[in-house]
Amino acid sequence: MTPTRERNHVAWQVQSLLLAYPDARLLDQVSLLRGAADTLPDPVAAPLYRFLDHLTRTPLSELTADYVATFDQRKRCCLFLTYYAHGDTRRRGVALLRLKQAYAAAGQQLTDEELPDHLAVVLEFAAGGDSATGRALLTEHRAGLELLRLALRDADSPWADVLQSVSATLPALAGDERQAVAVLAAQGPPEEQVGLAPFAPPEFMPPPSTHRPTPQPQHPRGPR
């Protein structure tokens, strides 16, 4: 494994944990996560340090309330990546199935509580599964990730730092991706026409963003 790929594995694992619903276990791991961030280059690590500082000085009750208000009550801060490209349409159901098939092909199965397009799930897969496929999935949703980062920044959310760190592990936005971000920002995700059935079976309807990634980062080499 190349040093860059290994560092990305560490970064994606840390980011996955920080984008999950905060709980006491996460607060107990702050020092471990900070140690993992020490192995990363500055553009990736610096925003992680800022967010970890926020975790250490904020009561858990405030963190959980802020998480729900940010990710479950603001459409522009949605953590489900296919929403940005497909909105509440049938095409999103197809995209979710394709993601599940990509995970299965790499030997990973999701639990019944996990949707495959939750950013924490995608990052966890990229960190511990097929890294090439994981990176491709993140890059495929680059426009949506950038819109999420901008929405979090505009909301002055501490999670904007985590998205900044994610962006630092990916290629810079190309011209067509910048245009896609502009279109998404102006128009929002597409919507199904009135009278059509729901876009996906109930198992693919997004629950609250309470994902808890399963792997734990191991210092100094990072996850798995």
pLDDT at position 182, please? 55
Confidence at residue 113, expressed as pLDDT on a 0 to 100 scale: 76
Which pLDDT value is given to residue 215? 41
Q: What confidence score (pLDDT) does residue 90 get?
A: 80
Q: CA 165 to CA 39: how far, in whole Å?
A: 14
State residue 205's pLDDT score: 43
Question: How high is the pLDDT of residue 15?
Answer: 98
| Tokens coding 52 | 């970890």
pLDDT of residue 194: 37
Domains and CATH numbers, the chain: 3-190 (1.10.3480)
pLDDT score of 84 = 83
| DSSP annotation of 173 | P
Number of H helices, E strands in the chain: 12, 0
Is the bond preceding residue 223 a cis peptide, omega within 30 degrees?
no
Q: Which residues of the chain have pLDDT under 70?
A: 1, 129, 174-224
